[in-house]
């Protein structure tokens, strides 16, 4: 079965982007959230998160 990337409905804090990426990669979403937080300090991380929240569809 082919995996698809979705924003998580069950594992969300803001928009479900990190939860969805964690589920897609079979990684704990907390690790993805920490990486997003570190990228957020670079200035581009927040922009990438917002774009991902717009582009990635929500889980059905």
Three-state secondary-structure class, residue 58: strand
pLDDT in tens, 8-17: 888 778 888 8
pLDDT in tens, 18-46: 888 888 899 998 998 898 888 888 878 78
Length of the chain measured in residues:
60
| Residue 50 tokens, joined | 């917002």
**Alpha-carbon span 30 to 22, nearest angstrom:** 8
Q: How many domains does the chain have?
A: 1
Give the domain range for residue 28.
1-60
Statement: the pTM of the whole predicted model exceeds 0.75: yes
């Amino acid at each position: 079965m082919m995996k698809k990337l979705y924003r998580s409905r069950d594992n969300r804090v803001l928009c479900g982007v990190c939860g969805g990426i964690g589920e897609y990669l079979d990684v704990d979403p907390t690790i993805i959230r920490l990486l997003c937080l570190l990228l957020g300090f670079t200035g581009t991380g927040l922009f990438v998160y917002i774009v991902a929240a717009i582009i990635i569809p929500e889980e059905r």
